[in-house]
Amino acid sequence: MKFELKSQDPKSKARAGKITTDHGVIETPIFMPVGTVGTVKGVHQTELKTEINPDIILGNTYHLYLRPTIKILEQAGGLHKFMNWDRNILTDSGGYQVYSLSGRRKINEEGVKFKSHIDGSMHFFTPENVMEIQRSIGADIIMAFDECTPYPCDYNYAKRSMHMTHRWLKRCINHLDKTPLKYDYNQTFFPIVQGSTYEDLRIKSALETINIDFEGYAVGGLAVGEGHDEMIKVLEYTLPILPDEKVRYLMGVGRPENIIESVSKGIDIFDCVIPTREGRHGHAYCNSGTLNLRNKIYENDNSPLDEESNFSISKRFSKGYIHHLIKSKEPLGGMIISWHNLNYYKKLMEDIRLSIIEGSFDEFKENFYLRRSSDSKI
């Protein structure tokens, strides 16, 4: 993997870059649609490729490990072949999912013992076996196994957890070195900075993490309830420590405004279930703001979903029709809005990137907030 910085915004820390891997180019800043168990929920791979066209998508180690299982993925030749996706994939390490299994998991120095949410069977993740699992899944970018702390988090717990995440990082790296690639392309490993919302811990974690040279570093343990302002504050004191010439990935974020502000602090990569999960629930991200298509005001609205959009899916159907589909629990409702939302996010990232390259990121931001607040329906 190679990362080149292309442009730096003069008035913020925002930057545009280009990652090159064996599965092609990733132009940053980028948003990765989430393909939890080997499918971006409710979206055909053809639409994904030809209409939404993301340079990279995310797969979840925890989910893929349980289903279809690693054995099946290996026999299919890895996740790319299994799901018929020939562009980039990043897999998380399962740390966040295991954190979400509150009451169904036990963490100790060795690793995490957890109960499957599917059948209650017991499993054990360690830094070592998660590296093997990610070799077998075969994503282009793979993540360190970390502990994601909750919010709020007691200082002493956050400190102990951070140190364990650092020890786990070393175990990940050692084991990865001994685990050969499974397929005929390379994989890049990103470590994860933790430390909850404590400045000294975040700084310590960032310094410790950059001790070893990698092509990219992730900021984990955010978007867990701390709120937008707290999250941005963490980025403000954490990101300056990470080397400029390396990729920075903010895990599990977020809403458009979270993304814009995080970009302005220097983040390059994002992922989030919002466009698809909220799409299934009837929430459409539009230039004018977020529309809740379940709302009865759209029942008789024959105007297209997003008149200002350049994407055909956003102009093909009326708000009234989509309202009807969502209310009738018809799969097509979620399919349309998920596709629309992913386009919205794609376009958002392209606009951000272009404005950084053209030196007009501050204008872009200003216009973004102006457009939003001027809409009367929100």
Q: Which residues bind a second copy (CB under 8 A)?
A: 37-39, 41-47, 67-68, 72, 75-77, 82-84, 299-300, 302, 316-318, 320-321, 323-325, 327-328, 330-332, 334-336
Q: Number of C-alpha atoms within 13 angstroms, CB side, residue 188?
A: 22
User: Which residue out of 55, 140, 146, 271 is catalytically annotated?
Assistant: 271
* Closer CB to a second copy, 335 or 352, in the complex: 335
Closest approach, Cβ 318 to a second copy, in A, equals 7
User: Which residue out of 92, 140, 268, 306 is catalytically annotated?
Assistant: 92
Closest approach, Cβ 321 to a second copy, in A, equals 6
Closest approach, Cβ 320 to a second copy, in A, equals 6
Rounded to an integer, what distance in angstroms lies between the CA atom of residue 288 and that of residue 298?
A: 15
- Which residues in the chain belong to E strands, given as ranges? 2-8, 15-21, 24-28, 30-33, 56-59, 88-91, 105-108, 111-115, 122-125, 141-143, 188-190, 192-193, 216-219, 247-250, 269-272, 283-286, 289-292
* Closer CB to a second copy, 105 or 324, in the complex: 324
Rounded to an integer, what distance in angstroms lies between the CA atom of residue 378 and that of residue 375?
A: 6
| Whether 184 is catalytic | no
* Closer CB to a second copy, 130 or 335, in the complex: 335
Rounded to an integer, what distance in angstroms lies between the CA atom of residue 21 and that of residue 259?
A: 24
Token digits of residue 78: 């890895």
* Closer CB to a second copy, 303 or 373, in the complex: 303
DSSP 275-294: HHHHHHTTEEEETTEEEETT
Closest approach, Cβ 201 to a second copy, in A, equals 37
- CB distance 175 to 132 below 8 Å: yes
> How many distinct helices (H) and strands (E) make up the chain?
15, 17
* Closer CB to a second copy, 204 or 323, in the complex: 323
- CB distance 252 to 245 below 8 Å: no
| Whether 375 is catalytic | no
Catalytic residue numbers read: 92, 271
